[in-house]
Structure 1
Amino acid sequence: MSDQRAALTATWTASVIAAAGAFTTGGGTTPETIPNSSVLYWSGPATNTTGTSPGDVTPGQLNAGAAQSLSVLRTAFRKTAGSGSNSVTWNPTLVINVPAQAVEGTYTGTVNHSVA
């Protein structure tokens, strides 16, 4: 996430969600769908920050114990204080719990990040 606004107060929230239906294969019938409630996410710590003190950026989920389902919009990272241009990078982890009734196949899906 890179914020080039150089604003006096540069705060933001990066959010994440899995698309409805999450991951599908074939025709997307029930046994060909892994619901977004089965997709878990954690952001982990920042891997790099610029233009801000490290205490000004907060991960939404620091570790695996804080993983959250992507069935609703979640906070991936947040900048809570400071000013000026800044950036943060992180390497999130996705865990997909495959339902017992899921058929074999190549599943595709979308996970979206947005910033406000």
Structure 2
Amino acid sequence: MKIRDVYITDFIRTPFSRSRPREPPRDVFGNIRPDELAALTLIDMFDNRLKGKVKPEDVDEFIIGATHFNYEHIAFGGRYSLFLAKFPSKISSIALDRQCGSAMTCASIGFTNIALGNS
């Protein structure tokens, strides 16, 4: 088996702010669920940054990390964000919580899966 070269050419992340549930005016994303925020990020990425280069149908696997999963994220392993973004239902997903290392772990898993031909 030949290991494929893999390159990260761009990245995007969900915006974040400090959670202040007791001070709604200061809680920028307090009324948006995390899965909705991830879906909005996916929509923006594919409609703007990747337009004409990669389509949602080209995605084999979705890997998402967070420091604290809640609501639909924990029950559906990140798939709910895909559904909200209207991505094809054939895409498998992985959700992981590695505290401050989630993003790097997601990138590592994705890199490895692509390099070995698993995605």
TM norm structure 2: 0.29
Task: Decide which structure has the larger Cα Rg and report it.
Answer: 1
Name the structure where helix makes up a greater proportion of residues. Answer: 2
